[in-house]
A and B are shown apart, each in its own frame.
Chain A
Amino acid sequence: MICQLVSAIGSGPAGRGHRLGRLGLRALPVALLAVSLLPGCRTKDQPEGPAQAVDTAAVTPLGSPVTVAMPNYFGSPARPGDQKVYPRVVDLGRHLFFEKALSQDRSISCASCHDPNMGFSDGRSRSLGVNGSIGSRNAMSLINLAWNSHYFWDGRAGTLQQQALMPIAHPDEMNLSIAEAVARIKGLPKYDTLMTRAYGDNKVTASRLADALAQFERTLVSSNSRYDKYLRNEGSLTPQEIRGMTLFFTHPDAGSRLRGGNCGDCHLNGTTGGKLVGFEGFANNGTQADLNSPAADKGLELFTRNPADRGKFRIPNLRNIELTAPYMHDGRFGTLEEVLDHYNHADLFSRPNVDTLIKVGTNRLPFEQQSLGLTAQEKADIIAFLKTLTDQEFATNPNFREPAR
């Protein structure tokens, strides 16, 4: 909430009035932004949060904003202001995204785990940090991030700005305090120019780093897959892909013999992601058979402290899913075939705290105590549809790759 307010204040008309005179007014909302960068909860494997450095430089971008193109059937982003980005800030953010100096041993950048060649994931079950440490979760794809209400598998960040600095400080990831990150960027001459072009002066602050990374990430919109072109009547799908699409968006009704894959109630039509209201975009899809053992990942409950949220994770969108294996919060499934087998599993309906919509989604009578019941052909059809979500334009876009030094 505070970040939204600050962004609204901070993104007012640039360059008007005396910038020095407005610094005093800007200090309060910027200080609030610094405070709001604290993570929502602390557990043993949570980061300590960005350092409380005094953050007095303005986060007022220069130049004119542009609107990131998005199809109408995506609906509004979670925060409507996210449609607007400032090109010079995006450029700064792109450099930071690929900046290995932001890790303790200078070996990894954001792009190491969020690699544009792999749909902004890293092809690993769980990500590798500095010093060879292995994290607990799978690197999420960064595609279409504006259509998420919260960030991380467990929803502990409410805005992209909040999220952006957390991996830098996390001991299992980049393991660099934010104060040190700021100091290192200050010491790199190219950021003098980039920062001044973006914000009007060369001061480096945590807020500016977060804002720039967030704006770059907001440009990562994928909407030109074969499925998108089919929706816009610009292209066609094969009969198998259309069968798969129909199954995907149909909740089965065994009583009336309506076959369905039961995917679309959570992976909504348009974005293929989750709902944006509150935490309705989180669900427990039954990956864990035991949610009480010490090894269990309690997911959203870690953040909300609500036992009803145990084992719930953010429903990711499935754009470019063909490129972002392996799958689930801990990358346990290497192939889409394994994912479909999971949803078809005989035991799924009895997994602890599994979602209501999974439990009522059966293609077989009698209704109770069943399973999804898809045939081998139906699973193959759904996988064929999932592959239509691959967007070659996005996957090869040079603007999303490391800038020339």
Chain B
Amino acid sequence: MIKHKTLLCALALATMALRCGPDKDPVTSDPVVRIPISFMVGNQRLVPGRKYAAVASDSFQVQHMALYISNVKLVDRYSGWFWAQPDSYHYLNPMQGDTVITLNNPPTQSFGFLEFSIGVDSVANSRIDYVGKGELSLNQGMAWDWNTGYKFILMEGGRKPADSTRFTAMAIHMGGNTTYRTVRLPLTNLTTTRGRTHTISLNADLRKLFDGPRTIRMSQVNAILHGGENFADNAASIFTVVQ
């Protein structure tokens, strides 16, 4: 018995060794694209309770942060053809270490752009039958009700306007179909291959939520609730590809 098992193990190991690396063997695994996102404020990591600068001498700190990324696509550089990840809803929570999006089995080819949206599209944003799906589960606390839909970005903590001496409460619950934004980022070099896991590292600079294309001062932010188009425009600007 033992001898047969050893032989089988050796045979299995040998077969696996022969399979390493990209080749035309049809049993090689599907390509995978991993997208880890680093949540930063400027060049500082996002940690709970730490005080960060926003616009001018405004400051803020974060206790809870969560957001939805959805409808992730890989886009051909020249033709505009894209592959869309099916069922593409990703709940991200950097304070809980939930910061990676995984694309399983995209087609094997070169792609020039990564595209995704911040928030939940208007179809899923109003349907009760989506809410049992893991990423859109109601008990992540990212929904109001079936009329108002999901919170696209949640950020809770404190804020200190430039002319103030102390921190007061800050709660940003941005959502609603008018705050849905789509982002397209150029990729220098992605050619998906069978048997390989590719990595696209993204940086999310949360300072740009305030110091972005729209200037948002801490004196204006007390509670952004269901709405906030300026904040949404800024949110679309925070992501870059780390080369």
Whether a CB of chain B sits under 8 angstroms from the CB of A360 is yes
Q: Give the size of the chain A interface in residues (CB under 8 angstroms).
A: 37
With CB as the reference atom, state the residue of chain B lying closest to A271.
B139
Whether a CB of chain B sits under 8 angstroms from the CB of A249 is yes
* B138 close to A76 (CB less than 8 A): no
6 cross-chain CB contacts under 8 A: A72-B131, A73-B128, A73-B138, A253-B226, A268-B138, A356-B63
* A275 close to B141 (CB less than 8 A): yes
* B170 close to A356 (CB less than 8 A): yes
Known pairs A76-B134, A253-B223; A276 contacts B49 (CB<8 A)? no
Expressed in whole angstroms, the Cα–Cα distance for A112 and B134 within the complex equals 36
* B139 close to A268 (CB less than 8 A): yes
Whether a CB of chain A sits under 8 angstroms from the CB of B190 is no
Contacts of A231 in B (CB 8 A): 128
Contacts of A268 in B (CB 8 A): 138-139, 141, 143
Whether a CB of chain B sits under 8 angstroms from the CB of A36 is no
Expressed in whole angstroms, the Cα–Cα distance for A367 and B170 within the complex equals 12
Q: Chain A interface secondary structure, helix, strand, loop or mixed?
A: loop
Whether a CB of chain B sits under 8 angstroms from the CB of A147 is yes
Whether a CB of chain B sits under 8 angstroms from the CB of A341 is no
* Partner pick for A250 among B128, B144, B171, B222, CB 8 A cutoff: B144
Contacts of B145 in A (CB 8 A): 245-246, 249, 264, 269
With CB as the reference atom, state the residue of chain A lying closest to B222.
A367
What range describes how many residues of B lie at the interface? 20 to 34
Expressed in whole angstroms, the Cα–Cα distance for A253 and B145 within the complex equals 16
- Interface of chain B residues 119 through 147 with chain A (CB within 8 A): 128-129, 131-132, 134, 137-141, 143-145
Contacts of B98 in A (CB 8 A): 277
With CB as the reference atom, state the residue of chain B lying closest to A362.
B223
* B156 close to A72 (CB less than 8 A): no
With CB as the reference atom, state the residue of chain B lying closest to A266.
B141
* B138 close to A356 (CB less than 8 A): no
Expressed in whole angstroms, the Cα–Cα distance for A275 and B98 within the complex equals 15
Whether a CB of chain A sits under 8 angstroms from the CB of B6 is no
* Partner pick for A360 among B93, B140, B170, B226, CB 8 A cutoff: B170
With CB as the reference atom, state the residue of chain B lying closest to A368.
B168
* A275 close to B144 (CB less than 8 A): no
* A357 close to B156 (CB less than 8 A): yes
Of A75, A276, A367, the most chain B CB neighbours within 10 A belong to A75
Expressed in whole angstroms, the Cα–Cα distance for A308 and B141 within the complex equals 21
Q: Chain B interface secondary structure, helix, strand, loop or mixed?
A: mixed
Contacts of A280 in B (CB 8 A): 64, 96, 141
Contacts of B223 in A (CB 8 A): 251, 253, 360-361, 367
Contacts of A278 in B (CB 8 A): 95-96
Interface string of A357-369 (1 = CB under 8 A from B): 1011100000110
Expressed in whole angstroms, the Cα–Cα distance for A43 and B223 within the complex equals 38
Contacts of A266 in B (CB 8 A): 141
Expressed in whole angstroms, the Cα–Cα distance for A360 and B96 within the complex equals 24
Whether a CB of chain B sits under 8 angstroms from the CB of A74 is yes
Expressed in whole angstroms, the Cα–Cα distance for A360 and B157 within the complex equals 11
* A273 close to B139 (CB less than 8 A): yes
Whether a CB of chain B sits under 8 angstroms from the CB of A270 is yes
* B170 close to A270 (CB less than 8 A): no
With CB as the reference atom, state the residue of chain B lying closest to A270.
B138
- Interface of chain A residues 263 through 287 with chain B (CB within 8 A): 264-266, 268-271, 273-278, 280
- Interface of chain B residues 57 through 106 with chain A (CB within 8 A): 63-64, 93, 95-96, 98
Minimal beta-carbon separation of A244 from chain B (angstroms): 13
Contacts of B144 in A (CB 8 A): 249-251, 264, 269
Expressed in whole angstroms, the Cα–Cα distance for A234 and B54 within the complex equals 50
Whether a CB of chain A sits under 8 angstroms from the CB of B10 is no
Contacts of A245 in B (CB 8 A): 145
Expressed in whole angstroms, the Cα–Cα distance for A312 and B158 within the complex equals 18
* Partner pick for A265 among B131, B138, B141, B157, CB 8 A cutoff: B141
* A359 close to B169 (CB less than 8 A): yes
* A308 close to B49 (CB less than 8 A): yes
* B222 close to A360 (CB less than 8 A): yes
Expressed in whole angstroms, the Cα–Cα distance for A341 and B141 within the complex equals 25
Known pairs A72-B132, A357-B171, A360-B170; A271 contacts B138 (CB<8 A)? yes
Minimal beta-carbon separation of B145 from chain A (angstroms): 5
* Partner pick for B157 among A72, A76, A264, A356, CB 8 A cutoff: A356
* B139 close to A75 (CB less than 8 A): yes
Expressed in whole angstroms, the Cα–Cα distance for A91 and B148 within the complex equals 43
Contacts of B134 in A (CB 8 A): 75-76
Known pairs A231-B128, A356-B170; A75 contacts B137 (CB<8 A)? yes
